[in-house]
Structure 1
Amino acid sequence: MFSLEKSKQAFAEARTYMPGGVNSPVRSYRSVGGNPPFISSASGSRIYDIDGNEYIDYVLSWGPMILGHANPEIVASILEAIPRGTSYGAPTLLETEVAKKIQAFYPSMEMVRMVNSGTESTMSALRLARGYTGRDKIVKFIGCYHGHSDSLLVKAGSGLATFGVPDSPGVPTGVAEDTITLPYNDSDAVRQLFEAHGESIAAIIVEPVAGNMGCVPPVEGFLETLREVTTEHGAVLIFDEVMCGFRSSSGGAQKYYNVIPDLTCLGKIVGGGLPMAVFGGKKEMMSSIAPSGPVYQAGTLSGNPVAMAAGLATLSMLQKYPNAFRQVEESTEALCQGLEAAAKEVGVPVVVQRVGSMFTLFFTDKAVHNFDDASACDMEAFKTFFHYNLERGIYYAASQYESNFLSTCHSDQDLAYTLQIAKEAFQAIKG
């Protein structure tokens, strides 16, 4: 019998010590209601909560665990590193080895700088773009999330190129005004903006495969348009591949779609599940960063030796077993096809969108190309689907606006059981 009694007590206590009882908002289950299970451990494709419930995990810490939870080789590398000390604040050989591995997968990252989170990565890449170009304005797309730095928590103004306005209290209006927001996948809007204001724009930052309004691929020609207009107007093209990096393909979305940015931001998988991220790109741009150049960026824990050990182990395994990417993509494709077939059989409108090993099940009858499309989905149907699955041991992202993921540890038996429960959930929605 499914129960979350211990988790309910834990959540109540956590709310007295932390805002909303969590350290990242989506964990609170506000968008789906109910009580989040408090996780006690994880292994392979499974996570376990303090109430003794076991789940097949399709969140995978929001993407990093492509080789499964508690991978023995990664754990061994961490355990080997810890006795040598957990932080030095000084250079190590590991940093250079990780940089070499990253460049092997992402040749466009001619030089890199290690940081501790995706937010740090995107924030630093934008500062570099502004410093390099001498311009202030940046362009982002509605529905793309690039971390919680001030200039990126901005919503659209009332017109195509109107000033942005803060999307969160605490973000200065002056900062938001330099961020222009456009609809994702709208090449015409991009061209019009650059025709009018191209000479004042420092950079475009984009999730080349959107993952924070659900999995939304770029439409044909969209990424090519971004590359074309930034090149023409001397702006910097930044791919935020924190989520889709190593998920779209072994070389991320830039390899999958053959569009090469000036700067790339990576996180999640690159740290093997530990806090680590990286940004990098053209040598001439990266040389503008201190101490080589005037653009300042620093971090006491950047290049942390334990995180470097986990990242190096992960990247080494992915390099050693390149079929891992094919395996996890084929499993994801099979699951997505099964979900669509089950929904169609029951008669529930569903679109499952996938790129590589990331996917989202949208409760709608048409493809999702942007945030407006995602917002038009049936949120009540999603809530029913989510809780039906959770109570039967299937752990999906607790929001219609998030992506799900698979690992090399997800078995055929995992997929079969997932599809069985999905069909039952669709029947419950149908009524």
Structure 2
Amino acid sequence: MATELRVPEVGESVTEVQIGTWLKSEGQGVAMDEALVEIESDKATVELPSPVAGVVTQILKQQGEMAAVGELIGYVDESAAPTADGKSPEGGKSSEQSGAQADPPAAMPSKAGAASNRTAELAAATSSAAAAGGTGHVMPAARRLMDEAGLAEGSVSGTGPGGRVLKEDVQRALAQPADKTASKTASKTAASNSKPASDSAAPPAGSRDEEVVPMSMLRRRIAQNLVEAQQTAALLTTFNEIDMTAVMALRKQHKDAFEERHGARLGFLSFFVKACVDALKQVPAINAEVRGTDIAYRHYQDIGIAVGGGKGLVVPILRNAEAMSFAEIETTIADFGARAKANKIALKELQGGTFTISNGGVYGSLLSTPIVNPPQSGILGLHKIEQRPVAVDGQVVVRPMMYVALTYDHRLVDGREAVTFLVRVKECLEDPSRMLMEV
């Protein structure tokens, strides 16, 4: 009995998703609740588990294709047996495969002269790929295109998961002979009209290949949000620099005991989260939001922490950061980082947020202007710590310095408030006891 695989609901207001990597191919067995395919929304990536134990008999939506929530994307058959070659059993072929095989080549319009020669040329040109390493399962769209071009099975090398032959692989194979023929013709023409080889210029070296891949749903959402922020908010960035001597000394003094007690590494982000919470309390406009003609002032601090994930930058939220300890902040950020790389961040963890911290310093950035994540009104950009000469009490000394950048929505936040915020963050980092004493 075949069980339908349909796109699950992945979040409020999400109506369309992108099919990610299929973790099982047609003909492969799967256990109940075993992950079958990755589903990518504009917020996060989730895995669709198998509702039953059985065999994947049909895959209707391939990687990169779009699908609506609730749409049928494949079948798992509880009664079918796995095949040795990974292909689906006879009874489990998709309608697309059946259609391609049911239509005999004679029913197609015949192609004369050059078309016949081109088909033979394509088959000969691609046969070497099969001899070199063989192919995997031929996907329905690829099979139909091969049938139309008269290419034999095994003549096209697959680049899909498990060596599967994709439609793009066949298209590349079809394009190669034409490119080679055009190149030979051009070479002969040039040779007949050119000077001796000793006088001709050497051809340019190097590859000019291109690879076109679909933009992920997450990257689309990031692009949309960034453009929206530029178009709807009056963004302005102000800068300051922080002497990190005190924080580095405090961290060095307590990091071993901290890690032993809490099982988490003591980093710099927890200090900045604490400093930002303190500064947001003093400058509530940066923690506020424009709602039409109103201003919503939040009396809590939900701090977004930008982390690099497998699919792009994501910003999970530290809920009520004002109530979190250093240990809670560090363990939560470490967990976010690990799960972001594995695309395991839950959708609800990315929603909301009243302020964001983005640490470009971990990648070596010296200075940048971050973009506000709407509808928030501010984002703090951190950068690399660099030893620089500075004047201290009339003397030039070398100190570990960091540039920080605050981008804010000027519709809501005045320059005075932005500078006050940055100065408070600077004071808290250069003298961490201020946060404890609230002075």
Q: How high is the TM-score relative to the length of structure 1? A: 0.21
Asked which structure has the greater CA Rg, the reply is 2
Asked which structure has the greater RCO (Cα within 8 Å, sep 6+), the reply is 1
Q: How high is the TM-score relative to the length of structure 2? A: 0.21
